Chains A and B, each alone.
Chain A
Amino acid sequence: MNIGTRKILDRSFTAVGIGSIIVMAVALMIVVVPIITNGIGAVFFTGTVEHRKMLFSEFKRGDSEKLSSEVASSDRYRAKVYGMLTDFEAELETMAPEKKVEYKAKYAEVRAALQALFGPLPGDPEPMLTRFKYGQTRWEKAEEKLHDLLYETKWDNSNPDVMAKEYFVSRAIGFQGTSLVKLFPYVKDNMEKLLLPEFTFYWGFITDSSVDSHFFGGIWPEIQGTFFLAVGAMLFAFPLGVVAAVYFTEYARPGFLNSMLRSANSTLAGVPSIVFGMFGLAFFINTLKVSESKSVIAGALTLAIMILPTIIRAAEEAILAVPKTYREASLSLGSSKWNTIATVILPAALPGIITGGIISLGRAAGETAPIIFTAAVSVGSAIGLADVLTSPTPALSWNIYNLASEHEAAAQIRHVQYGMVLALVSIVLMLNLSAIVLRARISKKLKG
């Protein structure tokens, strides 16, 4: 090959390398930027007075004097809205019967839109569900609901050959000539005074339990559950994995049994996680009966089996990477085999072992499938350390799925889902960072 071709090949290889790194970086940005920007919105957002009311009555948080003055000031404006409603209701009674029926249906929609904005209206019975007790707690949602109040969504069916087109009709026009027509511009112009939006830092999103299946409140039970499951899995898998790796590298004799064990281990690494979930249910819960029903311990054991192959492989590699001279030096000083392993080989291999362990910890925190049948519930309170043997727990990965697809009002509480995603990603990132730091510290110590 002449030098020219070689140079071209070399350059194009460099270009491909840089290109693939750029593609990876772009992909990462595309994934991470929305996660962060949307997720932050769960904690930092423009909250309305309804949010502060909710915090005060559900969590006893907030300054009661400031809140009552705020409520009083917003109630002054709301009283006018409610006054218009009573006026219109009186007017409704005086109308001709057929007109009355027509307006009644429209008026019911207006009332529903107002309820969504401001919570129960005067004369409404106190709702049982917390989600109906308050109006819109977030300003951007309130603006959507304001649109629902001002405009009616209609569908244009004029062309029967295609699907209808959406268009909006101002509700005010529908009430032309009645007293209610004033209500729409009034609410629109005084939105800020009615709801008192204010920048809110809701740290409780991390530390509170959820209220009324994630409509309000935070995600602490999920964070704690994720932590318990991941750490629990680690407690089982890490010691077992290290011992197995020591056996494979130091004690096992090459042979049929050994190669069977190794290939079993590699196969285990390739088993889909849902299979581990089913196995966990069948083995740990139904056969071994480690707990009556789903529990943290059953989930942790299942996750442990899932991450075991990775830990074994990482530990094996780390042990094999210890220079042979270490072992020879130790043995030549008269040390026994076990003593060599415990005092020379394992400490030298520790950074690699720990890295493998922590990467597996991140995986255990993020897996959904193994815990569906063994540990995760959609709603449950935060559990204490005492309950891990008997109680299941909500966990971030599973609840993200639950909120995304199963929740009855998934579209209304997207921000909670985004917040959970950000929390999960941050937890995994922090675990990985701590692995890097720990590894660096240990390597430094070993080098002396």
Chain B
Amino acid sequence: MIKKISLFVVFLAVILSMTASAAVTTLVLDGSTTVGPIAKTFAAYFTKKYGVRVNVSESGSGNGAKSLINGSCTIATMSRAMKAAEIAAARQKGVNPVATVVALDGLAMVVHPANPVRSLTKAQISSIYCGTITNWRDVGGPNARIVVLQRESNSGTEESFKELVIGKGVQITGSAETQSSNGSVKSRVSSTLSAIGFLGHGFVDGSVKVIAVNGVFPTVATVKNGTYPVSRPLYFYTNGQPAGLVKQFVDLPNSADGKRMITELGFINR
């Protein structure tokens, strides 16, 4: 029996070592869950068109940056710009991060469809997130405690929200619930009457209600012309100027097909 097993192990080891040399060109994408749908769709399109394998992971913008710095991904997908500290860390490791804007995203403030509140000002949102407003009554809604949803510290969406709405360095209230992805914010909001959260534009569907910020709803037009106050670009980060296959991939948003894919996914073309 032991002989049989050890023979089997040796046999497998031989097969593994024989096939180890067969390398395939692969693009590895890691990072933002917001850019995830775009990355996954582009990957499928790219694989079909050029026969190149593309692997996509969605572990958060922060992890995307780390992966690029460690050289473990080809393209970091990020829903915020790289921070100075990250760029410095990259330089130290000899990585030169270059950003390409993929698409624009209006960060939609969402509530449960049952919530009668239609619009909030930036100041109101930031008071809600800082914990000074804790009841919907104070912003024209019914008497209900506000369930505040935020994203984890690794999230680019969280960083953009802080930067664009409540201002850098301001603490979000300790009673805010932390969700790990756009999808989980959406499902929490759609199942909680008094919740408020923020989502990438492509994640919005009928199960949640988008409210206007300063009276402006996030639409293609308002995000593009900058009247919607909470919009931000989404990025592909590469090590050095993209070339070859990587360039073909990051140039997809400029192609007609790429633009249509971005629109159909609910994001906004640059």
Contacts and interface: CB of A to CB of B under 8 A. Distances in A.
A347 B2 contact: yes
Contact of A163 (B19, B37, B115, B187): B115
A129 B203 CA distance: 15
Nearest to B186: A410
Among A373, A376, A408, the most chain B Cβ lie within 10 Å of the Cβ of A408
Interface stretch (A79-87, A189-197, A255-263, A378-386): A378-386
B24 A379 contact: no
Interface stretch (A8-16, A168-176, A399-407): A399-407
A373 B59 contact: yes
A406 B55 CA distance: 16
Contact of A405 (B59, B181, B205, B257): B181
A212 B12 CA distance: 34
Interface in A382-396: 384-392
A293 B27 CA distance: 10
Contacts of A359: none
A245 interface: no
Given A163-B194, A402-B58, A155 B183 contact: no
Given A386-B22, A411-B207, A132 B72 contact: no
A162 B112 CA distance: 13
Contact of B12 (A235, A292, A372): A235
Contact of B193 (A163, A347, A372): A163
Instruction: Indicate the size class of the contact surface on chain B.
Output: 35 or more
Contact of A406 (B26, B45, B58, B63): B58
Interface string A21-32: 000000000000
Interface in A331-364: 342, 346-347, 350
A379 B261 contact: no
A390 B24 CA distance: 8
Contacts of A292: 28, 71-72
Contact of B202 (A235, A239, A408): A408
A161 interface: yes
A385 B15 contact: yes
Nearest to A392: B55
B1 A347 contact: yes
Among A132, A162, A350, A406, the most chain B Cβ lie within 10 Å of the Cβ of A406
Interface string B1-40: 1100000010011011001101110101010010011001
B144 A379 contact: no
B114 interface: yes
A406 B183 contact: yes
Interface residues of A, number: 57
B167 interface: no
B20 A163 contact: no
A175 B15 CA distance: 68
Among B23, B28, B187, B265, the most chain A Cβ lie within 10 Å of the Cβ of B28
B44 interface: yes
A164 interface: yes
Interface string B66-96: 0100111100000000000000000000000
Interface in A285-337: 285-286, 292-294
B36 A127 contact: no
Contact of A213 (B44, B183, B184, B186): B44
A405 B1 CA distance: 45
B261 A286 contact: no
Given A127-B264, A293-B28, A392-B57, A285 B37 contact: no
Given A213-B37, A378-B40, A163 B265 contact: no
Interface string B84-128: 000000000000000000000000000011111000000000000
B180 A405 contact: yes
B53 interface: yes
Contact of A381 (B22, B47, B114, B194): B47
B53 A405 contact: no
Contacts of B12: 235
Contacts of B43: 379
B187 A410 contact: yes
A213 B55 CA distance: 12
Interface string A145-168: 000000001010101111111100
Among B1, B53, B57, B265, the most chain A Cβ lie within 10 Å of the Cβ of B57
A328 B26 CA distance: 58
A155 B206 CA distance: 13
A380 B142 contact: no
Nearest to A406: B181
Closest 4 CB pairs of A and B: A386-B19, A293-B72, A386-B22, A406-B181
Given A239-B9, A406-B182, A410-B183, 18 more contacts: A128-B257, A129-B41, A129-B265, A160-B116, A165-B114, A211-B44, A286-B72, A293-B67, A293-B71, A294-B28, A350-B2, A378-B57, A378-B58, A381-B47, A384-B19, A392-B28, A405-B181, A411-B207
24 contacts: A129-B41, A157-B116, A160-B142, A162-B142, A164-B114, A294-B72, A350-B1, A377-B55, A378-B58, A385-B15, A385-B16, A386-B22, A387-B24, A391-B24, A391-B26, A391-B55, A405-B180, A405-B183, A406-B36, A406-B181, A408-B202, A409-B205, A410-B187, A445-B1
